[in-house]
Chains A and B, each alone.
Chain A
Amino acid sequence: MPDINLVQLLFNFLALSASYSLFAVGLALVFGVMRVVNFAHGEFFMLGGYSIWLLLAAFSGAPLWAVFLMAVVVGPIIVGIIGGGIERMIFWPLADDAFNGFIASLGLSYVLQATVAISFGVVSKSLPVLIPGQIEIAGAILTWQRVIVILGAVLTMAGLWYFLKHTRGGRAVRAASQNRGAAVLQGINLHRVSFMTMAIGAAMAGLSGVLMGSVLNIGPYMGLEAIWKAFIVVIVGGLGSISGALVAALLFGFIDSVASTSGYGQYIVIIDTVIMLVVLAFFPRGLLGREAPTLEQGAIKRFPTILPVKTIQVISFGAIALALLVAWPFVVDGYLLGVGVLFLINLLLVISYRTITSMGGWSFAHITMLAIGAYTMAILQTQFGISFWLILPLSGIVAAIIALVIAWPVMRTRQFYFFLSTFAAGEAIRQCFIQFKGTFGGIEGIPFLSPPSKVLGLSFFDPVNFYFLVLIIVMICSGILYTFDRGRTGRTIVAMAENENLSLALGTNVWALKTLAFCVGSFFAGIAGALFAGYNGFVAPTDFSTGMMFMVIAALVIGGNRSFLGPIFGLVLLTVLDEFLRDLSQLVPLIYGMTIILTVLFLPQGLEGLVRRLFASQTALQASGDKGVSHASRA
């Protein structure tokens, strides 16, 4: 182990803590007031970074420090205005449903990434050194740029503290974050407070983007890494607690600087995640999160009545869909056959994902479960030579076991914690695939996988045969998931998601039931992973990206997740969109993101809700006579 220079450690600690706190405190502030985890916070950071790059381009002759100074002033203002505008357009209309706001912010994050990628290119840009020079003390080095980051963070925190403690607006923000209802009764204009909070939060992200942009490289996806760290920080600190975010930023600043100074920098993501899971296991509300009694639960949403679908309708729909899928390999060429295989694998993914969401938590680790299935298949096949048929269930089992390990600390938490911690855990597992080269092959992955051996003389190297193999397996799995959904356990899970306290009072082991849903969903994602690996012939960590996760979420949001068919509608729509935009692949995330935002704003139940409403108005007309009677009896 190399000698650790304590002064250098201190420098790194200060620099890292400063950048973490600057970014995460804004996220915590916004969550406190609006109860929305703003996924697009990372993109505000990214926009801050781009503001400095744009100013450099615009004033190419000016001295670098002057441009930097200008960016420090202009960047946060512009990003703040963008944030405020987004609050008006997206978050305020969704104010009474924090979860929809969160989903919309996810869409927004994609829209902003794609817009920047289209306008300025995907390649990261490195900036010239804006403030040259460095301090050297006892062999330790701290660049002036880092000093400015530290100073900026300290000044911003002090300013924020003064604003919150000593100004009228700050008091209104604190009041709104403690109790929105009471704040409104005290005459606080919640609309204005939300707008202000969002603008301040965005400006802080923008400022940290400007400050860090001068240190890091600038690229359209730089927000993702930042938001990952911010999620870990706010989870450990306690969602919505500003002091918690500060404490956690210092904690992780320390841990990460120790790790990187002692030569374990590449494992930071994994180390941080383990720490987060341990903290959650003992402090389900984070270190400084307010003690929230079990009884705290959100308002109960009334969904439109699910119309009983006639069995004959289900059967005919299923028959038509199956006929199409069976006919597919006979009517299309090689490329579209591959699209068909991927569609089937995605079908299993979205259906199993819906099983998870039915318990009220949206996992962000579903693609990681797919990856786990794929890697299980790759390792068992290349290292142990086990038959594909045995691997298939094993892949599911391994994914389910890992889901169980993640679930243990996470399931006692509610709402956003589940999403955020699965997001963190998913990324950590992906990092394991990259970092532990001996087992998982690093960034290149594991090549030379083969589909199952011949059955009845049919070789699965033939794409058509492989298509049918996937079709049969996916149909069997979907059938099992459908029965699970329709069965008593499935309905108990849906009921629990609606009113957790009542379920507890009726003797339901809520923790076990949520874990069950998570493990069942992950099991089938693991099976999909084995099929995916068999189809590709290799596994690599780059195949299991956040973008793919986003596709699964988009399918559920756009299709609606109240019934079994919703996600299938959504997936069909997305697949068709994908194929139409094949030559404009840069546009795909933009259109996905826009569709998500529009769906959340205008079609809260998704496509399936729309169909149902159309049906409902027809039935209402037909049955108006009956309805009158039942209303009379109710009164």
Chain B
Amino acid sequence: MLHVRDLTRRFGSLTALDAVSCDIASGTIHGLIGPNGSGKTTFFNCVTGFLKPTSGSISWQGQDITNLPPHRIARIGIARTFQNTSNYGNFTLRQNLVLASRNRIKSPALARMLNLPSARREEALQEHEADALLERFGLNDLADVQAADLPGGTQKVLGVAIALSTGPQLLMLDEPLAGLNSGEKVKLMELLRDIRMEGQTILIIEHDMKAIMQTCDQITVLCYGEKLAEGTASEVSRDPATIRAYLGEEA
């Protein structure tokens, strides 16, 4: 459903992404791995419109989205998280999820501006949906807590819930497991597998190899902005270039 062709992004003389091509198939969990500085987050930023690619093209369900602004890309069904502060710290968890439901708004703009009954009804409905989603993420006790008061790991989980709340077709997660303890990691990965079963496509950047290998249907390996390998977990883990990149020449 997402086709990336020869995506290149330079910062001055530094090439952060060098002609990377990659296809993400509907209904899969796709892992994006690579050592630090290999261009994973730059890839995310280019796909979601936060950075303009230097060259290359990105198409989504047959539509070219290479130069669309971020909010337009979000509206056609691509949601993302950020590595840090992927929430509104001064809002409660429930409010965070309701704010994220913007793609599912149907009431007219004027009604929302003037807080008319139709907008309020819709909001009440979305609060119920938010509670259901919080329950699914095990955050229902914290619905009325302000996001900034949560510990770092829980904020990460909240970030995923917020992205999911937009009702995306593609969910892009930037290191969702960083800062989580092992129990939380297992729970979150289980949850991601569950929503994949319901047909959700997921693209995930992660350093936790165990989680990646166990969960991902397809893995792309980046190194210094170039694509080293692509394939299933077992293919990638046997790939000599990948092993070199992670363990050094001698290995």
Contacts and interface: CB of A to CB of B under 8 A. Distances in A.
Interface of A: 293-295, 300, 302-303, 305, 480, 483-484, 486-492, 495, 498-499, 501-510, 630, 633-634
Nearest to A507: B74
Interface string B194-224: 0000000000000000000000000000000
A502 B114 contact: no
Contact of B102 (A305, A498, A506): A506
Contacts of B151: 634
A7 B194 CA distance: 78
A491 B99 contact: yes
Contact of A502 (B88, B115, B123, B141): B88
Given A300-B85, A507-B166, 16 more contacts: A293-B45, A294-B51, A295-B50, A302-B89, A302-B90, A303-B90, A487-B112, A487-B115, A488-B113, A492-B99, A495-B91, A495-B99, A502-B82, A502-B88, A505-B74, A506-B102
A633 B75 CA distance: 36
23 contacts: A293-B50, A294-B51, A295-B50, A487-B112, A487-B113, A487-B119, A488-B115, A488-B119, A490-B113, A498-B89, A498-B90, A499-B88, A503-B71, A504-B74, A505-B70, A505-B81, A505-B163, A506-B74, A506-B100, A506-B102, A507-B72, A507-B75, A634-B141
A490 B112 CA distance: 9
Contact of B112 (A488, A502, A633): A488
Contacts of B142: 634
A505 B109 contact: no
A503 B69 CA distance: 12
B26 interface: no
Nearest to B95: A491
Contacts of B237: none
B148 interface: yes
B169 interface: no
Contacts of B55: none
Interface string B73-87: 011000111100111
A489 B113 contact: yes
B166 A506 contact: yes
B48 interface: yes
B36 interface: no
Contact of A495 (B69, B75, B86, B88): B88
Pick the most buried of B85, B119, B163: most chain A CB atoms within 10 A of its CB.
B85
Interface residues of B, number: 43
A305 B115 CA distance: 23
Contacts of A480: 114
Contacts of B69: 504
B25 interface: no
Contacts of B45: 293, 295
A491 B81 CA distance: 21
A489 B109 contact: yes
B145 interface: yes
Contacts of B90: 302-303, 498
A308 to B, nearest CB: 10
A508 B71 contact: yes
B103 interface: yes
Contacts of A505: 48, 50, 70, 74, 79-82, 163
A168 to B, nearest CB: 27
B39 to A, nearest CB: 14
Contacts of B81: 505
Nearest to B86: A502
Contacts of A495: 88, 91, 99
A501 B114 contact: no
Contact of B103 (A499, A507, A630): A507
A492 B81 CA distance: 18
B170 interface: no
Interface string B42-84: 0001001011000000000000000001111011000111100
Interface in B101-138: 102-103, 109, 112-115, 119, 123
B135 to A, nearest CB: 15
A508 B75 CA distance: 8
Given A484-B113, A634-B145, A492 B87 contact: no
Contacts of B38: none
